[in-house]
Structure 1
């Protein structure tokens, strides 16, 4: 996981703990859903977002992540070729009557074409071929899916196959699938575009992208749909951009394909219309300081490692405030980039965002007289504070 990913996950987790529900007056036909603002990590809407559900073909996002990871690490190339086994052809191809890219048995297909077959037309044959080619077998690839999922913070989700077949151990949550989508968008921009391609031609068969939102002119540029049966319902993981803002939606359990498209459209448009992004500070821009004990200087500037921004309802009347929280004073020496504490941003009385703060410069340890003076000062301050506390209790 990249440092940016880890920082965003931490900010995202903090927001879930502290932020009030923004808009639970909105209703959706999805049985389970979550809508996230990708810029700030704010959860705009959620409904049963932590319940385990059958992912159907949305699991192919996880399959794609492993392949993208292999490509980015240099262990795989887009021009490499994988064989289409009898299993991929018989159980995942046209013969199975499921979604397929129509690859011929015993043929060899470039990885890039298999990726397109996987994410554009939701080919089960493409998913099996990628799994077998990359890990040696579908079972070995599933083990990698589960290991990689835990590395990415998908602690509740588990995977049983790479193509969406319903199995008892194939379960995900809307929240974690949205987190997975955000990771792919941020960490693999060079590959994310495949999810948004409108059609795919293979074996003289042209198929449109199965994501109906791509044709609605609402800024959607990916990701995947899925459906198995009435139990799974109609599912979708989607992302859209409008005026620089990106929203990520995970919706599971719509009753029909039409309902899935309409409910997803309504959720995304509601998110864009009812909230606005407020920029506060740039990454690495000092936002305050922390007191330093025993150093060559008495304080050190602190900053966040990513832009500090919050999402607010357009009708918001509450004032924003912020404070830096740390256990202090910080003992010298201090290294540039050292984590100092966190910044809290409040809307009225509610904390709506937390991010770690780091020292922007180093502070060397001071001379012995300086350290002695600071020690005496801290002792006196602690004594006074203790006496005040006792007086308040009397």
Structure 2
């Protein structure tokens, strides 16, 4: 074999090996935790999970929901960041010995903004009670709001019994539910989420640092998260990080130490960014295509998606992505804006990764009697040839 041919074959072998290697995904890390999950923020895809639906004590992860509820109250106008809160005896910091607190005391008038920093950065149990009483009058009334919001967000395996997360009968959540909650905080109350990136807060001349040590990790762009610990729950951490256009959410619950929860979270996030990618498959409010509509005032209808569509898959598999459009033909007027008129399915190779409904982007009313008559005749002739596709392509 001549030298040139040998070099060519060697080069082809190396290229083939490199391609095969790029598509190999190792097993996810095995972590020393009671349960954990890694979720892609955009698509909601679960990339890694262990006991992700197991009922676990949330500890101070509970404060994620406390902050979410307050954020929604601010959004609704029922309170504001500048609103002053009178601290009650129930919220007094001395009532929480040997637990995290902001160090407020009865008679203090504290803004919601400062209490939220005390809740999020210092993980103050006293701040949690003060905010709960401010929003709902009593902590128990606020807990009812927390549980109502949990159900509305799809957190069906979660039950809160207080605003701070200290152990008690019946309190439980799951890693998957906590990932959903962090996803919704980022999406629904972004001003609240911004507080999770702050590294320190001073109240009563006491400087306290954010307990999420990943905020200081230069190997990851972690911009938020919440720690939790009780003797029942162990050490837990919810974190979110970005790399380019991709955002991941990690939840690690019930580790044996502070350092373990940090290392476990780092392993999950690094694994996700290294071996997965997220693509935007469709843009909300854009037209996917124009389809034929029958017996209407117009002959064509623009169809598209109500929301942005994302999918997450193994890195390097994007070139195998394909799309199949189905229209529920024939489309007969009247059609109202928002009506589901079809669907789009995306596949990577033969694996289906996402199906999203297609909706009408506008309304089309019935046409005149003459238009309906003509289209009825045309449809009858088309049906004789069973040419379903032509019914919407026109």
Other structure's SS at 1:86 match: coil
Contact 1:28 / 1:267 at 8 angstroms: preserved in 2? no
C-alpha deviation, 1:381, in angstroms:
5.5
Contact 1:318 / 1:348 at 8 angstroms: preserved in 2? no
* The 10-residue stretch of structure 1 (299-308 or 118-127) with the greater mean CA deviation from structure 2: 299-308
Contact 1:82 / 1:133 at 8 angstroms: preserved in 2? yes
Residues 385/243 of structure 1: CA separation in 2 closer, same or farther (3 Å cut): same
Tell me how large the CA RMSD over aligned residues is: 2.4
Once residues 343 and 67 of structure 1 are traced to their aligned partners in structure 2, the CA distance between those partners, rounded to angstroms, is 38
Q: Does 1:34 align with 2:19?
A: no
Other structure's SS at 1:157 match: coil
Alignment of 1:176-325 (within 5 A): 176-217=177-218, 218-229=220-231, 231-316=232-317, 319-325=320-326
1:25 aligned residue:
27
1:225-271 deviation digits (Å, cap 9, x = unpaired) = 10111x41211111111112211112212221111000101111111
Once residues 293 and 127 of structure 1 are traced to their aligned partners in structure 2, the CA distance between those partners, rounded to angstroms, is 58
1:137 aligned residue:
138
Larger Rg: 2
C-alpha deviation, 1:347, in angstroms:
1.1
Contact 2:88 / 2:130 at 8 angstroms: preserved in 1? yes
What's the TM-score once normalised by structure 2's chain length?
Answer: 0.85
Residues 358/267 of structure 1: CA separation in 2 closer, same or farther (3 Å cut): same
Contact 1:235 / 1:253 at 8 angstroms: preserved in 2? yes
Once residues 132 and 95 of structure 2 are traced to their aligned partners in structure 1, the CA distance between those partners, rounded to angstroms, is 12
Once residues 357 and 202 of structure 1 are traced to their aligned partners in structure 2, the CA distance between those partners, rounded to angstroms, is 52
1:67 aligned residue:
70
1:14 aligned residue:
none
Contact 2:67 / 2:192 at 8 angstroms: preserved in 1? no
2:54 aligned residue:
51
2:16 aligned residue:
none
Once residues 286 and 318 of structure 2 are traced to their aligned partners in structure 1, the CA distance between those partners, rounded to angstroms, is 27
Residues 187/317 of structure 1: CA separation in 2 closer, same or farther (3 Å cut): closer
Residues 64/79 of structure 1: CA separation in 2 closer, same or farther (3 Å cut): same
Residues 334/144 of structure 1: CA separation in 2 closer, same or farther (3 Å cut): same
Alignment of 1:90-101 (within 5 A): 92-93=95-96, 96-101=97-102
Matched residue count: 362
* The 10-residue stretch of structure 1 (260-269 or 367-376) with the greater mean CA deviation from structure 2: 367-376
C-alpha deviation, 1:320, in angstroms:
1.4
2:123 aligned residue:
122
Once residues 378 and 306 of structure 2 are traced to their aligned partners in structure 1, the CA distance between those partners, rounded to angstroms, is 32
Once residues 285 and 300 of structure 2 are traced to their aligned partners in structure 1, the CA distance between those partners, rounded to angstroms, is 17
Other structure's SS at 1:87 match: coil
Structure 1 segments unaligned to the other structure (5+ residues): 1-21, 387-394
C-alpha deviation, 1:145, in angstroms:
0.9
Once residues 307 and 202 of structure 1 are traced to their aligned partners in structure 2, the CA distance between those partners, rounded to angstroms, is 41
C-alpha deviation, 1:368, in angstroms:
2.9
C-alpha deviation, 1:183, in angstroms:
1.0
Once residues 308 and 368 of structure 1 are traced to their aligned partners in structure 2, the CA distance between those partners, rounded to angstroms, is 39
Other structure's SS at 2:92 match: helix
What's the TM-score once normalised by structure 1's chain length?
Answer: 0.85
Residues 136/361 of structure 1: CA separation in 2 closer, same or farther (3 Å cut): closer
Once residues 321 and 135 of structure 1 are traced to their aligned partners in structure 2, the CA distance between those partners, rounded to angstroms, is 50
Contact 1:121 / 1:209 at 8 angstroms: preserved in 2? yes
